[in-house]
């Protein structure tokens, strides 16, 4: 059974710091991995999608890497800003029955203070 773990569970940093969020998964047979952002009481916003054949994806100040063999992904946020404060969720996709089922970690709650 696939399990996804995110470390740390919570993180508080001053503005401007570069930071790394970690995601690990137990079954390396994934189809892809997706990072999401969730603001309090809101839905999920997709940040980056990494296919299983890829090593990393970048979008602006965000960079996500994937090491499928070791079951790990990291989300790197450069020059953090207070607006980055949110919960970041990692989800791995398992191809089953012709579609991708997402299995989520519990998230990392990030607070960036001025």
Three-state DSSP state, 83? helix
Instruction: Out of 18, 26, 46, 59, name the contact with other proteins by CB under 8 A.
Output: 46
Q: Is 105 in the site for other proteins (CB under 8 A)?
A: yes
What is the number of alpha carbons within 13 Å of residue 63 lying toward its C-beta?
A: 9
Note whether 31 binds other proteins by CB under 8 A.
Answer: yes
71 binds other proteins (CB under 8 A): no
Taking CB under 8 A as the rule, does residue 62 contact other proteins?
Answer: no
- Residue 21, CA distances (Å) to 7, 12, 34 in order: 7, 12, 13
Number of H helices, E strands in the chain: 0, 11
Binds other proteins (CB under 8 A): choice among 19, 44, 56, 85: 44
Please answer whether residues 88 and 62 qualify as being in contact, where contact means their C-beta atoms are separated by less than 8 angstroms.
no
Shortest Cβ 49–other proteins spacing (Å): 5
Q: Residue numbers of the site for other proteins (CB under 8 A)?
A: 4, 31-32, 34, 36, 41-46, 49, 51, 89, 91, 93, 95-107
């Amino acid at each position: 059974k696939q399990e996804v773990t995110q470390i740390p569970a919570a993180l508080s940093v001053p503005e401007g710091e570069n930071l790394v969020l970690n995601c690990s998964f137990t079954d390396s047979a994934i189809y892809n991995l997706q990072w999401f952002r969730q603001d309090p009481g809101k839905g999920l916003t997709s940040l980056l999608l990494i296919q299983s054949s890829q090593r990393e994806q970048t979008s602006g100040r965000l960079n996500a890497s994937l090491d499928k063999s070791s079951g790990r992904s990291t989300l790197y946020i450069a020059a953090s800003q207070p607006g980055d404060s949110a919960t970041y969720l990692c989800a791995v996709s398992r191809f089953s029955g012709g579609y991708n089922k997402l299995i989520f970690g519990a998230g990392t709650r990030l607070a960036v203070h001025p």
